[in-house]
Amino acid sequence: MTRLVIGSYTAEMDGTGVGLVVVPGGALATPAPSFVVADPPFLYAVNELPAGSVSSYQMSPDGGLAPLSTRPTGGAWPCHLALHDGWLMAANYGSGSVSVHPVGPDGRLGERTDLVQHHGRGPHPERQTGPHPHQVKVAADGTVTVVDLGIDRLVHYRLDGGRLHRAGETAVPDGSGPRHYVVHPSGRWYVAAELGSAVLTLEQGAVLASIPATTSDVLNHPSGIALSADARFVYLANRGADTISVFRAGDELSFVAEVSCGGRWPRDLVVDDDRLIVANQHSNTVVTFRLTPDGTPLPTDEVTQTGSPTSVLPV
């Protein structure tokens, strides 16, 4: 049976943060673990604080967690992680940088080996006054792509010996505010545009199309995006509309359906075989849906209560 690891995060007015990493064996209090990744038996979390850091833990067979190490990222408000070939990379949203740490065979993190700074801005007067990396992800060919909401760019790197070497970039429409992306087996990329409330289709570094994220006319900020297990459908979490939108990934991306997220402010979602798991940050719930053959998410009775869930990970 799949077990869930849930990272939760509540920002305080003084710029600090509190949170929990929730596992089947209980919960471990740790500073602001807003995003988690795993390489069993090890778990890694960002600590999304003004003086950002990353932490590692060991998971026991019963689901418990034991702290192993914490290292500063050298940046502010880290919000996303990627593991690749013995290295952990963190996207520092607040300071516009990406850090690299070595990962030991015992799961412990070493001193930072690189810190790459982005530069620039976008047209949004509040959200794009500077660079804001929101996702770091590794492609099948080893290319590291950093999605930068602040500068409307997907910046590509090659990771070599713990250092990131810039390998190009992909521009998206001004003010779209890219947040996260997924890669379809066809080679097309689908990008959640947080500020433009849209899904962008990219192919060979060019934007082919843009489709609205929701049918609602409320102020909406897309967050998580995921592919179905058979790659026929794309799922998008809508914060504001509080829905999950379903798109068919055919010759063109087309709208299929839109359903309630089962809570408020869906910050993250993940596909686990025939299930869709959604972290609703403002209603303190993680809700599980069953995916039908036509791609429609149907709510189940699986609801996990937890404080401000921001990341959910099946292990």
pLDDT tens digits, 254-294? 999 999 999 999 999 999 999 999 999 999 999 999 999 99
Q: Strand, helix or coil at 149?
A: coil
106 and 203 both lie in a single domain = no
132 and 186 both lie in a single domain = no
154 and 199 both lie in a single domain = no
Q: Strand, helix or coil at 265?
A: coil
Closest CA to 239 of 182, 191, 278, 190: 278
Q: Residue 97 CA to chain centroid, in angstroms?
A: 16
pLDDT score for 80: 98
Rounded Cα distance, 272 and 161, in Å: 33
pLDDT score for 10: 80
pLDDT score for 105: 98
113 and 10 both lie in a single domain = yes
Considering the domain boundaries, does residue 88 fall inside one? yes
pLDDT score for 13: 61
Residues of the chain with pLDDT under 50: none
290 and 180 both lie in a single domain = yes
Considering the domain boundaries, does residue 76 fall inside one? yes
pTM as predicted: 0.96
Q: How far is CA 99 from CA 96, 117, 119, 143, in A?
A: 10, 9, 15, 16
Tokens (6 digits) for 14: 């003084």
Considering the domain boundaries, does residue 308 fall inside one? no
Instruction: Determine the structural domain holding residue 248 and report its residue range.
Output: 174-303
Residues 6+ apart with CB under 8 A from 77: 48, 49, 50, 52, 92, 93, 94, 95
Considering the domain boundaries, does residue 311 fall inside one? no
Q: For 102-128, how does the pLDDT look when each residue is reduced to its tens digit (9 = 90+)? A: 999 999 999 999 999 999 999 999 999
Residues 6+ apart with CB under 8 A from 152: 122, 128, 171, 172, 173, 174, 175, 176, 177, 178
167 and 196 both lie in a single domain = no
Q: Strand, helix or coil at 110?
A: coil
238 and 164 both lie in a single domain = no
